[in-house]
Amino acid sequence: MQPMDPSQALAGKHLVLGLSGGIACYKAAELCRALVKAGATVQVLMTDAAAQFITPVTMQALSGRPVYTSQWDAREGNNMAHINLSRQAGAIVVAPASADFMAKLLHGGADELLSLMCLARPIDKVPLILAPAMNREMYGHPATQRNLTQLRSDGAHVLGVGAGEQACGEVGDGRMLEPEELLEELQAFFTPKRLAGERVLVTAGPTYEAIDPVRGITNLSSGKMGFAIAQAAWRAGAEVTLVAGPVSLATPRGVRRIDVRSAEQMWQAVQPCAEQASVFVATAAVADWRPVSAADQKIKKTEGGAAPALSFTENTDILASLARSERARSGQLYCVGFAAESQDLLAHAQAKRERKGVPLLVGNIGPQTFGLDDNALLLVDAHGCEELPRAPKLQLACRLIERIAQDLRKTSS
């Protein structure tokens, strides 16, 4: 049964978190805490090697459950922890998964509780998710790479690794992903892939139209709604490209990002991407007008002088242009528009949807959401409207992605 909040795919899940030996065990503590906060229950298993890096007491305090470390644990009535614990799990997550532990899994080794449980799990019911962590030379070794390939072939879900400075002092690939990255990967793993096979293009944030080297025209859009939509689309299985105006937000995991500044730059970036996309979500607050020309030097104020006269020219209407394209008219590109209004939301949203020629228009009251982490949306199509009450932007983004997926299924049937 799906959780009420589509952005919280881990709510109600029971996960086994396995720790093998490695300095990255310290990240597993933060991951455990994050999983519990996301609504999951977590049963921790640790190898003897893992206990050299972090104590079972720490993991018990964070998970709220006794930690298992031995296949001979007498707490299980039948003394079969490797059977009982795996049958209760929605997934087994091994983080960190050391090179040695993965080599053991590959060959069916089972000489301690964690590997024994991984081998004994019902493969078709209990996914195995591995978060590798090791030195860069170990990670790049042909034996390790062969093992990773075979583990994937055997059905394990092997996550990527991070790059950077390692505990040994060397720099390169092999670091375990950060806890927030692992959490996002797990949220995505349990999210239904309603947009699998789709290519989604999202624009987000404001544009900046220069007047001179230090001044310009922009707006208060933070980009948070568009970034949340890109994140939700990736979770739902889409290949996502995000064209972002000048904002200081982290790139959502799994998303390809293109940074632009002006409306014209956004249009130039969007056009080639739209040729490959099947969905376009125009969340960006694009400036309608720009100065005809920007001064090369700062326009100086003169004592008693008049304000400088500015001449404007209209920017390309990105949404309307793509909605009128051959790909959109033939049904190959599904376009979604956004309207940030200050009043009369329904009337303005309906008018804009018809004017732009898009099947779905999403309206919101700009001053009530700019810069905030929550929003309220109004979805308007040819048949009427649907209100999405105020909620975190990621939750609303997941609801919007579900709606887009429904519309795509209707048009393809």
3-class DSSP string for the chain = CCCCCCCCCCCCCEEEEEECCCCCHHHHHHHHHHHHHCCCEEEEEECCCHHHCCCHHHHHHHHCCCCECCCCCCCCCCCCHHHHHHHCCCEEEEEEECHHHHHHHHCCCCCCHHHHHHHHCCCCCCCEEEEECCCHHHHHCHHHHHHHHHHHHCCCEECCCEEEECCCCCEEEEECCCHHHHHHHHHHHCCCCCCCCCEEEEEECECCEEEECCEEECCCCCCHHHHHHHHHHHHCCCEEEEEECCCCCCCCCCCEEEECCCHHHHHHHHHHHHCCCCEEEECCECCCEEECCCCCCCCCCCCCCCCCCCCEEECCCHHHHHHCCHHHHCCCCEEEEEEEECCCHHHHHHHHHHHHCCCEEEEEEHHHCCCCCEEEEEEEECCEEEEEEEEEHHHHHHHHHHHHHHHHHHHHC
User: Which tokens hold the place of 396?
Assistant: 């609303």
- Whether residue 398 lies in the annotated active site: no
Instruction: Pick the catalytic residue from 32, 168, 385, 398.
Output: 168
Cite the active site residues: 168
